[in-house]
Amino acid sequence: MAGRKANGEGTIYRRKDGRYEGAAYFRTTSGVRKRLRVYGRTREEVHTSLTEAKAKAQQGIPLPDRVWQLGDYLDYWLESVVSVNRRRTTYGRYEVIVRLHLKPGLGNHKLNRLSAPIAQSFMNQKLSEGYSVRNVHIMREVLSAALTNAQREELVNRNVARLVTLATYQPADITPWSATEATRFLEVAKSSSHYVTFALLMLYGLRRGEVLGLRWQDIDFESGEIHIRQQLQRVKGLLYQAPLKTKAGKRDLPLLGFTQTLLRAHHAQQQTARHAVGAVWPAADNLVFTSESGHPIEPRNLSRSFEHLSKLHKLRVIRLHDLRHTTATLLKGLGVPARDAQLILGHSDISTTQSIYQHDDMESRRETLGRIEKLLTSGQEIVDDGSRSRQFSRQQSLYTRMLASSTTVIHGRG
């Protein structure tokens, strides 16, 4: 009886193919006891694997119910975690990264065997294939999010994606339109069927999805307010009305006189078009901005129209989203407090408003430094060139004597 094994110690034996197999019972993540089998070329290798498993069990770390391939786990994570808890747009972005990059490159690796060198090699390969640093950062972010969930489910002990080293991503500089350029665009945009849409984007700094998601019940002509409550987005080929990006995005804005006039005229035109189309007009959405047939406007088409209009009238071409940067910068130039600009733009963090969306230019710097110059030099007389030269010579002579004296002291100490 003295040589008998303790309960749960496990067994190790040699197989017919010459390899060694070990087995022992452990509690799994689902709470049931399951027999773990490990294999190796030597008895010591198998013994080590069993010992490691027993050590984890003693620490209260349960055994996974199955051995996951990374590709299978990514599919599970997308459908069971991301699709349930994240916005559709987030799911759509993650799904593309998983399908096009992570599964083809890493999917065959076992989840619990994925190492930092393997992940690093994959990211390096993507960079060598010509993908931008920004795109590879996104790949790492998605992989890291999946592995964080695997840690939470006690399937892996660490998140190796966080150990990958990548060059720092430097976003491209954005130069928004000046007030002159913005005014010029609004003037030439009057010929566009999207004029009112562009005007709201420019005046309020709305996001593209927010302006296209506006419904007529969000426009309160009586109280003079615009209620931002949803956004229009395309995910996996379908347009749908989605919740706002953040809680701060839900905001109420004043319906300005100019904007109210535009919207009333636009409403009248839309009603005329609706009666002309008749029953074909979709009645469910009641969107403010629609196509001629009453359907939601494709976001990409609005961006294309904006770019085409800018090129046609020889305006400096910027992205449609950069109108939001333009509004933020104009608010700053008008002296609007950053907190007010944050609420208007719907940012969760004031630092986003200040560091990302509000820009300056040489003229604003010149004006600011000019104020400092005026403050510090008011009452100062400017001497003639000859006096200034003599004064400079005296200052230079004094500086030379001070330098020589300091050098003597330093050498003396040495």
* Tokens at 112, concatenated: 């619990």
HEC profile of 346-397: CCCCHHHHHHHHCCCCHHHHHHHHHHHHHHHHCCCCCCCHHHHHHHHHHHHH
Closest CA to 298 of 215, 237, 368: 237
Say if residue 23 is exposed, middle or buried (CB neighbours under 10 Å; 0-12, 13-18, 19+): middle
- Please check whether residue 260 is in contact with residue 200, taking contact to mean a CB–CB distance below 8 angstroms: no
Distance (Å, whole) CA 161 – CA 137: 10
Sign of CA pseudo-dihedral 291, 305, 246, 347: negative
Closest CA to 72 of 61, 60, 80: 80
Distance (Å, whole) CA 248 – CA 255: 19
pLDDT at 356: 80
pLDDT at 308: 96
pLDDT at 115: 95
pLDDT at 410: 38
* Tokens at 156, concatenated: 């892996």
For the chain, 414 residues long, give each residue's pLDDT as a single digit of tens: 444 444 445 688 888 888 888 887 777 666 667 776 778 888 888 888 888 777 777 766 666 666 789 999 999 999 999 998 888 888 999 999 999 999 999 999 999 889 999 999 999 999 999 999 999 999 999 999 999 999 988 888 899 999 999 998 888 888 999 999 999 999 999 999 999 999 999 999 999 999 999 999 999 999 999 999 999 988 777 888 888 888 999 999 999 899 999 999 999 998 888 777 665 556 556 899 998 878 899 999 999 999 999 999 999 999 999 999 999 999 888 888 889 999 999 998 888 888 888 887 777 777 767 777 677 777 666 555 555 555 545 555 554 555 555 444 434 443
DSSP string, 62-104: PBPSS--BHHHHHHHHIIIIIHHHS-HHHHHHHHHHIIIIIHH
Closest CA to 123 of 162, 151, 94: 162
- DSSP assigned state of 275: H
Rounded to two decimals, the pTM is 0.69
As beta bridge partners, residue 252 has 227
